[in-house]
Amino acid sequence: MTFLVRQIALKSNGEEIVRPSTIEGDELLIGRDSACAVHLPDLAVDPRHARARIERDGVLLVESLGEQPFEADGRSTKSRTIDPAVGAELGFGGHRLTVSRDADSGAPVITVRRIEAVSESAEDIDLGSAFTLKGLLPGKRASAWVFALAMLVAFLAVPIWTYATYQPLAMDKDARRPAGVHGDTAWKSGHLSLAHHNLENDCQACHTKAFVAVTDNACLTCHKEDAHSHIPDGARLLRARGEPQGMARLTQAVASTFNRPQGRCVGCHTEHEGAGAMPATRQQFCTDCHDGLRSRLPDSKLADAADFGTAHPQFRPSLIRAVAADGKPVFAQVSWAPGLKEPNGLKFTHAQHLSRSNGVAQMVRRRPGRFAANDALGCQDCHKAEAGGARFKPVVMEEACESCHSLTFDQIGGTFRTLRHGQPEQVVADLRAYYRGGAPARPAMLSGMARRIPGDAARTASAADYARAVHFYPTRGDQAVAQVFGKGGMCFDCHTVTRTGGAATDGFAVQKVAQNTRYYHVGWFDHTDHRKTDCATCHTRAKTSNDASDLLVPGLDGPGGCRSCHVGEDGAKLAGANVKEPVKSGCAMCHAYHMDGGEPWKPADERKKRAIVTTAVADRPRLPAVMR
């Protein structure tokens, strides 16, 4: 069987709105509960007040489910049998239900209509209005005007008065507002960052003119020594951005009208966004120029860049190409590629020293506690980070090498005499002095087989050590010099030695050793952030490199490449299974904007000042960072 239920509501003009619905089944529930088929939101109605059921003869039986009665044609009852063809009117609180039969389908029709409350038990009585001070208050219009006037006084008149009665010395960075209540702080949209926390209650320090946006001059009052234009030619910078189109053109015109031109400091350094670190510059600020830069500035030498994970040019490390006569290296910037070489004057091989099975590893195992690991050498045994952790100190022979590569050539009592490292002329002089006047009582220990072995055992070397040296080395000074600089000698084993006509070193020249302390000069990299990562994760060629000139720094892609982890600002979702732990990497993570003499990658003595760069990533792996 089927019931037709029609809910009738009235519009404000008296017009009826009919919402019909069809209820399948032989019975339906009537009550205040929303689960009832006939839902009557009335406090005078029980949650499950009554049930209407169609009997076999087609009549409708309506009966109460509890003690609460209902009205049927004006009489209170708990049960009533109704013939839909005849019809009836039922009353439940403030609702009237009319029962009839549908002319087309013959189904019972229940029409629900809300009427005015006739008793205080009906829901139509607004209980809130019975306990209100509405009659004692002014009307809505008057209240609205009073509230609007109060807002204007509190948030417009008072702040303007505060500003007008306090005018600090124009653009004076040391001026501070006296303590007290300041009405213009009501306009503050949020707390200042930690960098500007001391200006929290001094709005005029930056907002120097009423109703005028913060100007660059206000910023340069304090930052005149550490803020420099990215491109000196402002017009060229705007050309690099390109002409705005569509709505962007209109937005720019409106901004310029209200003293908000492109390229302002606050366009990048946003404030009033919380009391933490100043938010990092959004990548879009950089890509506005660098994405498609070559098409807008054809004479530019910079490649286009949009996102580190998807569109970034290959790295260009600065490599040593030669060493000048004064020992200073000559650098050249080249595009990174596998197999790049960097002559540094050494014959050192990483593979030999990092092996876990050769003689080097055996030597480490014989000297427990001397090295970081007890089974083989590790990177940290020779490469020591600077105090700031950003770069590594140059490897010093006396600190990292001499414990294994001894320069001892004689012993007097318990004291060992060593050749002067890095001073070939002094080496020649010492050897000739040693052989002056004929052969000494003991030949010098100049070969790998005759030199003392590493460690404390050398201090107890026996006479047999010196006896073995007699077989390998001549006893005259000139031949000893040739031997130490020749194949198998102390110098030749580690350094590039050439024959020259110089007399000071008997015709031998040792190539100056040059160590590169910074390969990438336009991007910032900090080893401190990677201290939990094994060195070989990035420097993948170290354990297999048999040539000291092999370039071991990683590039953009490939094994150990930066994109193995860093996937750009929005590229983490594109990494998929290729990146185990993707790191979101915006431009500001590696690049600084104000790079005028204070670049953090320069040696400290070449920098004009200390540069501080603050960046952050919501999930940012790091920063703020102090770049030393």
pLDDT in tens, 181-221: 677 677 777 888 888 888 877 777 888 877 778 888 888 88
Tokens standing for 2? 């089927």
Q: What mean pLDDT is predicted for residues 33-43?
A: 92
Tokens standing for 617? 């990533």
342: alpha, beta or left? (left if phi > 0; alpha if psi -120 to 50): beta
3-class DSSP state of 295: helix
Indicate the average pLDDT of the chain: 79
Q: Which fold has domain 2-125?
A: Tumour Suppressor Smad4 (2.60.200)
Q: What is the pLDDT of residue 540?
A: 92
pLDDT at 461 over 80: no
Report the distance separating Cα 173 and Cα 163, nearest Å: 17
Q: What is the pLDDT of residue 122?
A: 44
Report the distance separating Cα 569 and Cα 575, nearest Å: 12
Kindly state the DSSP code that residue 341 receives in the 8-state scheme: B
Q: How confident is the model at residue 442 (pLDDT cuts 50, 70, 90)?
A: low
Contact 598, 226 (CB under 8 A): yes
Q: How confident is the model at residue 451 (pLDDT cuts 50, 70, 90)?
A: very low
pLDDT at 488 over 60: yes
Report the distance separating Cα 180 and Cα 192, nearest Å: 19
pLDDT at 625 over 80: no
Integer-rounded Cα Rg, in Å, for the chain is 44
Report the distance separating Cα 561 and Cα 539, nearest Å: 9
* Residue boundaries of the structural domains of the chain: 2-125, 152-279, 397-510
Contact 494, 348 (CB under 8 A): yes
Tokens standing for 50? 């009554």
Report the distance separating Cα 527 and Cα 386, nearest Å: 10
Start-to-end Cα distance in the chain: 86
pLDDT in tens, 573-607: 555 546 777 888 888 888 877 755 545 555 555 54
Q: What is the pLDDT of residue 595?
A: 59
Per mean pLDDT, which range of 224-228, 420-424, 586-590, 615-619 is the poorest?
615-619
pLDDT in tens, 46-103: 999 999 999 988 899 999 999 999 999 989 999 999 999 999 999 999 899 999 998 8
Percent of the chain predicted with pLDDT > 90: 24
CB atoms within 10 A of CB 529: 16
Contact 559, 538 (CB under 8 A): no
H/E element holding 92?
A: strand 88-92
